[in-house]
């Protein structure tokens, strides 16, 4: 490996020499300073940008580091193929970081929250959406509408706080197909149905049920994206000639789900349908150059999709949405 060359201007050299002299004077005076204590990781819990006149806030509910990623992603390919794609993308094949990102939209007339995070049971690593919401300058009492994209626990866990509705003044929206599927099961059948009984059913009298193309509010439209769950639903924001897709769990990893949309994901209930949906929606995003928010994308979770061979490539947003 070649040596790194560092060149100094004469001014920099003189300043360095002066600093050394000052430093020598400090040491000779006998003063001793302890090293500053490291502060540890720091997370920015909120990112804010605009879609037309809509103010959009992505809220970091939390992030966790997980081992053995191929037990979750790329389950239908061999380890060497998985490792090669990981290495090509500068990420390890033996561990990954999962992010959890609800989205808050201020339309100017309503404050709309999409998904609620893991909730109090996930703290301290997750379940921090309420704190992020307050960092954004809002309170839970100000939320007018809570939209649930699907019933997985990391999306409905924050509906309750301390045994009471976490957003006491809100109405709730969910796809009819998603609600009916889980509500029709034995409440003790699995973790989702148990949490639904605890967190969702008590709010049923305040719920609006949508189908494909249904409207949450002006400029917010439901888009069916089945496969991850039977009624998994995305939401398109449109305002002032701009669009943004809230893509929920369409793609759960920025490399393994985009570069290879046919790679199976453990949490996709119908893996074939989920892969077909992924290809279709990612193709639409790439063709139409529409930005999207992915619930599990690296925070702040907003970016673009570019075609890349027979797959896709994630392009994180920079300043496009703040111009």
pLDDT tens-digit readout, 99-124: 999 999 999 999 999 999 999 999 99
Output the pLDDT for position 38: 81
Q: State the pLDDT at residue 16.
A: 43
pLDDT category at 8 given cuts 50, 70, 90 is very low
56 forms bridges with which residues in the sheet? 49, 105
pLDDT-based confidence at 18, cuts 50/70/90?
Answer: very low
* Confidence at residue 102, expressed as pLDDT on a 0 to 100 scale: 98
How do residues 242-295 score in pLDDT, each as one tens digit? 999 999 999 999 999 999 999 999 999 999 999 999 999 999 999 999 999 999
SS3 content of the chain, % helix, strand, coil (to 5): 30, 25, 45
Rounded CA separation 233/245 (Å): 11
pLDDT reported for residue 35: 83
pLDDT digits (tens, 9 = 90+) for 60-70: 999 999 999 99
pLDDT band at 15 (very low <50, low <70, confident <90, very high): very low
Whole-number mean pLDDT of the chain? 90
Structure tokens at 21: 């002299």
Distances (CA, A) of 232 to 36, 92, 106: 48, 30, 23
Q: Check whether 1 has a pLDDT greater than 60.
A: no
Assessment of whether the complete model's pTM goes beyond 0.85: yes
Quote the percentage of the chain above a pLDDT of 70.
89
The two three-digit tokens of residue 159, written as one number: 């509906």
Distance CA 242, CA 224 (A): 20
Residues 273-284 pLDDT 10s:
999 999 999 999
Element (H, E) at 63: strand 62-67
Tokens of 28: 């000779």
Asked if residue 237 lies in contact with residue 105, where contact means CB atoms within 8 angstroms, the answer is yes
Residue 149 token pair: 């994209």
- What is the SS3 assignment for 309? coil
Per-residue model confidence as pLDDT tens digits over 150-195: 999 999 999 999 999 999 999 999 999 999 999 999 999 999 999 9
């Amino acid at each position: 490996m070649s040596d790194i060359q560092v060149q100094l201007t004469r001014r920099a050299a003189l300043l360095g020499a002066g600093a050394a002299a000052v430093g020598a004077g400090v040491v000779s005076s006998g003063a001793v300073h302890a090293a500053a204590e490291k502060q540890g990781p720091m997370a920015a819990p909120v990112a804010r940008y605009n879609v037309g006149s809509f103010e959009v806030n992505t809220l970091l509910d939390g992030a966790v580091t997980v081992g053995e990623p191929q037990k979750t992603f790329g389950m239908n390919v061999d380890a060497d193929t998985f490792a090669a794609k990981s290495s090509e993308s500068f990420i390890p094949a033996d561990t990954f970081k999962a992010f959890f990102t609800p989205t808050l939209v201020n339309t100017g007339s309503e404050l709309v929250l999409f998904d609620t995070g893991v909730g109090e049971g996930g703290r301290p690593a997750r379940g921090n959406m309420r704190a992020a919401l307050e960092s954004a300058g809002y309170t839970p009492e100000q939320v007018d509408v809570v939209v649930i994209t699907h019933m997985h626990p990391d999306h409905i866990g924050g509906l309750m706080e301390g045994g009471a509705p976490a957003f006491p003044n809100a109405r709730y929206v969910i796809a009819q197909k998603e609600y009916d599927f889980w509500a029709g099961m034995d409440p003790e059948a699995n973790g989702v149905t148990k949490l639904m009984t605890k967190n969702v059913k008590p709010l049923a009298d305040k719920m609006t049920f949508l189908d494909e193309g249904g409207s949450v509010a002006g400029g917010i439209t439901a888009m069916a994206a089945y496969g991850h769950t039977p009624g998994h639903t995305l939401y398109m924001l449109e305002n002032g000639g701009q669009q943004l897709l809230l893509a929920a769990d369409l793609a759960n990893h920025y490399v393994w789900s985009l570069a290879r949309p046919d790679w199976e994901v453990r949490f996709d209930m119908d893996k074939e349908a989920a892969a077909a949906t992924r290809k279709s929606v990612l193709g639409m995003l790439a063709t139409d150059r529409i930005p999207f928010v992915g619930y599990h994308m690296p925070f702040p979770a907003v970016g673009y999709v570019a075609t890349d061979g027979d797959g896709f490539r994630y392009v994180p947003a920079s300043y496009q949405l703040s111009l």
